[in-house]
Structure 1
């Protein structure tokens, strides 16, 4: 049976559920994309109606249209520009309407939802075109084809099961990609698909799938995933649609090797932790420096 998480873990897990949030441990900051063109940089410990210490904003030299997810790596911010159909890379200390250091576009990128960085393979991994998982060299700049892609599940011959993925996390220790998605048919069951890190067009079948009533992943909403490699855990911010049109949100914790219709190790839900499941949320993050 799933246990209720300890109080000390709540700030970490509730951070997971916040919209478009990435912690940058080396800088002790929180970087937030507001869904339009701005990327806001808040000081660590900021709360309430706080003012960002820096803001990257659209302008003549910075054509960003919608900052929907952010990845911090090596003092750079990799930003998914969903409406602009690009991955734009900025210095972590950038402020104002500054030009990106690099801008990557691609015929297969489409509208990118999430970008993750794999330094071991020196690649960026992206939910591309809202339906596939593609990899490019980390320092890509310009219009480039991906190194490999896991195709959409409804492509002829595909066994990937990808439907409408929104959550993406990398488990670099296990060499896996952890993808939040939901099934294409009623009741649109939420699920987590786990792929080999090198999965591609010719080897797209998931290694494992976390799905079923025992998982409490729910149905009819998005699933956002984060991996804590050190603790060997998968975190999922998920929920389900209720008959009255509202959504019930929760944060779930699974072992990193979980598969099938398994119960979560811990669950956080309800008004106390302030959990909510809102349309438009496009990312999640874990501040591993504060886990107790």
Structure 2
């Protein structure tokens, strides 16, 4: 599927040109999974506008578990969980595409979400299901050691409290890293957000945390999104099979109540795999039905919503080809559109 440059007059005819595409990393048990692209005007049971994958050899994309967009180079960092690599693709990649570069490391293990600090040219990654490792942003090939590593909390003498971290973001305003995790006390699980200085190394204690009953972080954090324009963190949390979205100021600390909470039966969230923020529409997107659910869907909610609200956008159905939507990121469009990607209906 091809893309081409369009003239300014044609661009003006498409209102969607200023709105983001949504990329979905699809986990497929027993087979490599693709990254699916849905356009800004697609809703309902629609086929993806495009998709990309890589097959064969050492560069095969196996599990696009998490996606991170880098706007300066217009690329997407794909955390290939079972491939044990970070693969970097053009944001408009389509078809069987080769990554620009691939990062592997014996310290990377099975990577989860990554975050980008462009000011310091660093890539921060949840590595080995336990730790936060920092690599040069342009790292490629096999890198023996990260620049820094915040270690697992289970090591004797460690104060990090890192247990099973999944998501992270770099907060430029405070030069901190926020990490979602789960803690256990007397056999009871609870979600927590841990904050570290970006330059932390070794086994330091978090500089602050968000945790406690008032936070509504539930049993665990199923997704984390960040809207730096508004200085807010958004956590998708689960408790006894029920999910909610809670929002905090990025400076919040302790057992603090959310600024807003989206919760109730109308959300329609089941076994979610990820959440992301789309600045072009001021919406939060949730990948629902990622794990053992037949109701796979991409759901959108207004960032400022509160209470029991239904999604304002829902992409679901057999035409979507989604089998296990886990990775999720919004990618702003440039001055190009897919020529043959407009499906009827």
Shorter-chain TM-score category? 0.7 to 0.9
Aligned to 2:151: 151
Aligned to 1:160: 160
Question: CA–CA distance in 2 between the matches of 1:129 and 1:45?
Answer: 38
Mapped contact 1:163–1:184 kept (Cα < 8 A): no
| Aligned residue among 252, 255, 265 for 1:258 | 252
Mapped contact 2:114–2:169 kept (Cα < 8 A): no
Question: Which string of whole-angstrom CA distances, capped at 9 and with x for unpartnered residues, describes residues 23-68 of structure 1?
Answer: xx97721111002420112211221222222211231264111001
Aligned to 2:278: 287
Aligned to 2:68: 71
Question: Aligned pair 1:29/2:21, yes or no?
Answer: yes
Aligned to 1:12: none
Task: Say how many residue pairs are matched.
Answer: 258
Question: CA–CA distance in 2 between the matches of 1:266 and 1:38?
Answer: 34
Mapped contact 1:238–1:277 kept (Cα < 8 A): no
Question: CA–CA distance in 2 between the matches of 1:235 and 1:267?
Answer: 9
What does 1:74-113 correspond to in 2, within 5 Å? 74-113=73-112
Mapped contact 1:191–1:223 kept (Cα < 8 A): no
Q: Is the strand fraction higher in 1 or 2?
A: 2
What does 1:169-208 correspond to in 2, within 5 Å? 169-185=169-185, 186-201=187-202, 204-208=204-208
Structure 1: gaps of 5 or more residues: 1-24
Cα offset for 1:284? 2.2
Aligned to 2:342: none
Mapped contact 1:152–1:158 kept (Cα < 8 A): yes
Question: Which string of whole-angstrom CA distances, capped at 9 and with x for unpartnered residues, describes residues 95-148 of structure 1?
Answer: 111211100000110000111111111111111011001111111111112110
Mapped contact 1:210–1:261 kept (Cα < 8 A): yes
Aligned to 1:60: 56
Question: Which string of whole-angstrom CA distances, capped at 9 and with x for unpartnered residues, describes residues 136-192 of structure 1?
Answer: 111111111211011011112211000001121221111111111111442111111
Question: CA–CA distance in 2 between the matches of 1:58 and 1:289?
Answer: 29
Question: Which string of whole-angstrom CA distances, capped at 9 and with x for unpartnered residues, describes residues 215-238 of structure 1?
Answer: 11112x334222222212111111
Question: CA–CA distance in 2 between the matches of 1:153 and 1:174?
Answer: 23
Question: CA–CA distance in 2 between the matches of 1:269 and 1:276?
Answer: 13
TM-score normalised to structure 1 length: 0.83
| Alignment RMSD | 1.8
Question: CA–CA distance in 1 between the matches of 2:265 and 2:85?
Answer: 36
Mapped contact 2:78–2:86 kept (Cα < 8 A): yes
Aligned to 1:235: 234
Mapped contact 1:124–1:138 kept (Cα < 8 A): yes
